[in-house]
Amino acid sequence: MALSNSEIADLFDELADLLDIEGENPYKVRAYRNAARIIRSLPRSLAEMVAAGEDLTRLPGIGERIARKIETVVKTGKLPQLEQALARTPPTLLQLLRIEGLGPKRVKALFGALDIRTLEDLERAARSGKIRQLPGFGPKIEALILKHLDQALEGERRYLRFEAESIATALIAHLRQAPGIDRIEVAGSYRRWRETVGDLDILVTVQGDSPVMERFVAYEGVAEVLSRGGTRSSIRLRNGMQVDLRVVASESFGAALQYFTGSKAHNIEIRTLAVKQGLKINEYGVFRGEKRLAGEAERDVYACLGLAYIVPELREGRGEVEAALENRLPRLVELADIRGDLHAHTQDTDGRDDLETMAQAAKALGYEYLAITDHSRRVTVARGLDEKRLRAQMEAIDALNERLEGITLLKGIEVDILEDGTLDLPDTVLKDLDLRVCSVHYRFNLSKRKQTERILRAMDNPYFNILAHPTGRLINKRRPYAIDLPRIMAAAKERGCLLEINAQPERLDLNDEHCLMARDLGVGLVVSTDAHTATGLQLMRYGVAQARRGWLEKAQIVNTLPLAQLRKVLARP
DNA sequence: GCCGTTTTCGGCCCGACTGTTTTCAGTCG
């Protein structure tokens, strides 16, 4: 069984961490991390590319040496350099890197001087006061280590962007009360619409001598103030989230926004490009020598480099800088392009609202259509519909459509894909619906081959339209089930089936990398909310953001079509 | 280890903050 791209990327990341601790050339370490990132964002599997004899060195950041290593990994499942590094350096040291304040240099020093290999060793040494005696260490660092040990033991916590949004909104409202506040913007992975964020980076500009820092550290949700400076302060909220506030001058706001939005990989590319052009970029502006060329507007930072504006969702170091240079950035799908939602539940199963409430909410969003797709009978916990109850709902929808103006309800179902690949309701009723959303809700633990075949068999049913939440993952809660997505996408394209980008903040399934893969393979997609309430329809922006992170354009998203054209696609010609 | 319209060798993004120092290293973002 060949390793997946993300497994291969993990090997290079692990190698990079170990070499970093060993004090290896930092640029070599960066080259491995860089390669890992490139590998993660590839639309096709390396196994496939190697089998086809493709020249991997044509990928940016992959040279002769790493290409050979990848081939070895694909063929043997092992990365010899990693095995050697593991023999030299205990892998438990990698846990130590997760402690805030401990980087490769200090981990190496702790290992070398005190033979500290594990978090337990670290705690013992810190408690007995040995760490403060090491050169370069002191009582403060020792105390810091003890403080952060607990956090490291439970692993890095990342918050759903959705959770972060309500935290950010409340905090911004608090900051707005400070006199002299001008602009406020959340930067970082939040602005790039990553599905999870580790912390919040807030930028503000102020008029005159505003007490915004005082107000920030005095926020009622603050558990502790981590640092406090003139331009930057950090707090930890009671829920554990870290928030950084940076005060920047108006004339630097655009440059600061660009800089703190990241990603790190994107910024390195941008700055490297700037250096080649004899420019310098920092968070204060773009400079040629002493002369400042831009800084107030983010757009100008890119323009100075001869680049088209790159939206935050694309700033992941996945080729967007090169694309901007060549003026071939995608024209990303936008929320306003969406003409309807194709996955929603009502109180007939596990939703909360009735048909009409859902319809009016969809109309208020400016939609042309909304598909009602309640669960099928197999999902007993949701009181899934059998044929009789489904027929009753269909009649109710027909009757409602007679009365409704400006919105059309589509008769649909979220039908379960059973373990043998058949659908949970007979074709005799499926054929009378406008569309069928098909999904896996149980037996997640089948082998990759069996799970894939289960879905492929289901797609053989001529009424199969959309594969809902294709991997079944729940962020931070449930891992995706094993499936061969490229194969499923190829099969879907061939048969005129579609894949869903589920917009639920804890699903976002397909994820951004899958979206890139779908873009490359050209399979049709829909963005749907899977709403269980009328307000749930507003989550569409999360699905659209995910699509944008995957470089997707309007043409590939089927629910941007007017209803008449949508119906043609759903008929699976 | 990667990369090249200044270079196949010699570069490789940049600044704030902290702690341990007394001019700087490490870490972080």
Helix (H) or strand (E) holding A247: strand A242-247
Residue A1 pLDDT: 62
Residue A408 pLDDT: 97
* pLDDT tens per residue, range A137-162: 888 888 888 888 876 666 567 889 99
| Among A342, A344, A414, A403, CA closest to A378 | A414
pTM of the model: 0.84
Both structure tokens of A296: 């107030």
Residue A171 pLDDT: 93
**Nucleotide nearest to A142 in CA–C1' terms:** B19
Give the residue nearest to nucleotide B5 (CA to C1'). A276
A25-39, A151-165, A206-220, A536-550: which has the minimum mean pLDDT? A151-165
* Integer Cα distance of A462 and A464 in angstroms: 6
Contacts of A457 (CB under 8 A, 6+ apart): A420, A421, A422
> What SS3 class is residue A339?
coil
Strand B-proximal residues of A, range 332-351, CB below 7 A, are none
Strand B-proximal residues of A, range 5-34, CB below 7 A, are 25, 27-28, 30-32
* Integer Cα distance of A4 and A74 in angstroms: 9
- CA of residue A57 to C1' of nucleotide B4, angstroms: 15
* Integer Cα distance of A421 and A414 in angstroms: 15
Question: CA A375 from chain center: how many Å?
Answer: 27
Higher pLDDT pick, A370 / A292: A370
CB burial class (10 A; 0-12, 13-18, 19+) of residue A567?
middle
**Nucleotide nearest to A102 in CA–C1' terms:** B27
* pLDDT tens per residue, range A77-133: 899 999 999 998 888 888 888 887 888 889 989 888 888 888 888 888 888 888 888
Judge whether residue A26 has pLDDT over 90: no
* pLDDT tens per residue, range A393-447: 999 999 999 999 999 999 999 999 999 999 999 999 999 999 999 999 999 989 9
Residue A136 pLDDT: 85
Distances (CA, A) of A139 to A62, A111, A124, A256: 43, 18, 15, 34
A424 touches strand B (CB under 7 A): no
A268 touches strand B (CB under 7 A): yes
Residue A146 pLDDT: 84
Strand B-proximal residues of A, range 104-133, CB below 7 A, are 104-107, 132
Given a contact cutoff of 8 angstroms between Cβ atoms, the answer to whether A195 and A233 are in contact is no
Contacts of A491 (CB under 8 A, 6+ apart): A456, A459, A497
Give the residue nearest to nucleotide B15 (CA to C1'). A282
A498 touches strand B (CB under 7 A): no
The percent of residues in chain A predicted with pLDDT above 70, rounded, is 99
β-pair type (A181-186, A199-206): antiparallel
Measure the N-to-C terminal CA separation of chain A; round to a whole number of Å: 36
**Nucleotide nearest to A132 in CA–C1' terms:** B20
Q: Which residue has the tokens 């304040």?
A: A101
